[in-house]
Amino acid sequence: MNLTAMNNEGNLSPPSQTPPPPTPPPETPYERRFSTSERLLKILTSPAQAMKDIELRLLSELIKNSHRSDRELAKALNVSQPTISRLSQKLRKEGIIKEYTIVPDFTKLGYTLLVVTFVKLKASLSPEATENARKEAKEYLRQQSPDIFMLERGIGLNFDGVLLSLHRNYSDYLDLKQRLKKFEFLNVSEIRSFIVNLEDEIHYRSLTFSLLARHVLKGR
């Protein structure tokens, strides 16, 4: 088959070449682990859809105030006390209730800074190295870093993970940054933090979970 073409002057010329498609940017370790449809499914699928109405209402009441007795909760929900006991045990067994705790005034405990820190993994990490990094981070948090109370992976802002921490002063926060830089799987030049002064005179909404009590009931 003749692959040449005739131009306007009657001369033979090679056919025009279609430029190759642009090379897509490399995926982050989080994106490599889950496909787009899987990530969307994890975001859009809510466990609350499988919960009964009374279970959601009980959960809402516990979020408001978990210090109440089963008798007080039964009265608030207009059900029997054994029903509350049975449902509470069920929610704990299924891992929906993870723990009962309090939200203290952290400034009265000596904490002055709440810090949101974004981290990025090295792009060269293989899936196996990424999994090893996850295990190393979990073990480190379990043994040595009580000031970090949340660490999760995610997508957005060109970062791979975010951690929340409390500090008594700025020196304590700098110590955390130095500890993070020792992890070989992190891109240390891409560590970014947002610092909240807990002693600021202006507060828009301090840390609380009680306001989520109404939100968990939406869409039921």
pLDDT above 90: residue 63: yes
Q: How far is the C-alpha of 121 from the C-alpha of 125, rounded, in Å?
A: 8
- What are the pLDDT digits (tens) for 148-204? 999 998 999 999 999 999 999 999 999 999 999 888 899 989 999 999 999 999 999
Cα radius of gyration rounded to whole Å, the chain: 26
In order of start, what are the domains of the chain with their CATH numbers?
29-102+203-220 (1.10.10.10), 112-197 (3.30.70.100)
Say yes or no to pLDDT of 81 above 50: yes
Mean local confidence (pLDDT), 102-124: 94
Average pLDDT (26-49) is 50
Average pLDDT over residues 117-132: 89
Question: Residue 216 — pLDDT band, cuts 50, 70, 90?
Answer: confident
Provide the 10 A C-beta neighbour count for residue 212: 13
How far CA 217 is from CA of 44, 52, 60, 111, 197, in Å, comes to: 16, 11, 7, 33, 32
Bridge partner list, 196: 114
